[in-house]
Amino acid sequence: MRHGREVVDAWQFTIGIDRHSAQRVSEERAADARVTVLSAGAGWLRVEAIAGAPTRGSLLLIAGRGLFEVTRRDGWSVAGGDERVLLMLRTLPDALSAAAAERAWSASRP
């Protein structure tokens, strides 16, 4: 627990991996990051990365939550030289591969 919030593992992937493959990889290797869930809504999740440095445009498999695209990454320095990193994540539909979801997302943007 961190400040009363659950800390969960996350695995980072490039665009194009499907949920099933990401899940299989997560069972075979250590997590790339640890995050705390700050808030959630229909189709999105806001987390703070407390270990690891997920990048914008990558995919994160969040333990117990599913596969998400990192759509925003905000980082800033705090006292003691540490960095806080907040991430905005967009849910990827289970029925679509990440690549198909990216095409659908791009096509819907003005």
Residue 56 lies in a domain: yes
**Which element (helix H / strand E) includes 22?**
helix 19-28
Q: What's the structural domain count of the chain?
A: 1
Residue 82 or residue 60, greater confidence: 60
What is the distance between the alpha carbons of residues 36 and 66, in angstroms, rounded to a whole number? 14
Query: Computed over its alpha carbons, how large is the radius of gyration of the chain?
Result: 14
Query: pLDDT tens, 95-109?
Result: 445 555 555 555 555
Residue 103 lies in a domain: yes
Residue 40 lies in a domain: yes
Query: pLDDT tens, 35-51?
Result: 999 999 888 999 999 98
Query: pLDDT tens, 68-97?
Result: 999 999 988 777 777 789 999 999 875 445
Q: Which domain holds residue 89?
A: 7-108
Residue 2 lies in a domain: no
What is the distance between the alpha carbons of residues 81 and 20, in angstroms, rounded to a whole number? 38
Residue 1 lies in a domain: no
